[in-house]
Amino acid sequence: MNNWNSIKKCSKNLKEKVKDFFVDEYGGNLVEYALLIGLALFIFFIIVGVMMSLLEWPLDLANNLWEDFGSHF
């Protein structure tokens, strides 16, 4: 029975911590954290996309160089 009370006490403590997390005005809430992570991922993928296109451009030029002279391998 002592083990059951310990589990019940731990569960109640966890519920209080989660409730405090969602109600807390100074530490931020889950929606704000999700928006920040989403914005960071959006900016990250834009930067990665631009960098990949910049790296792909000279390779594409090099591959098409001989085609510009009319040579087909």
Q: What pLDDT is attached to residue 72? A: 61
| 63: in domain | yes
Phi-psi region of 28 (alpha: psi -120 to 50; beta: other; left: phi over 0): left
| 47: in domain | yes
Tell me the residue range of the domain where 48 lies. Answer: 2-68
| 21: in domain | yes
Q: Assess whether pLDDT exceeds 60 at residue 22.
A: yes
Q: Which residues contact 66 (CB under 8 A, 6 or more apart)?
A: 72, 73
What is the number of structural domains in the chain? 1
Q: Which residues contact 72 (CB under 8 A, 6 or more apart)?
A: 66
pLDDT tens-digit map of 31-57: 788 899 999 999 999 999 999 988 888
| 34: in domain | yes
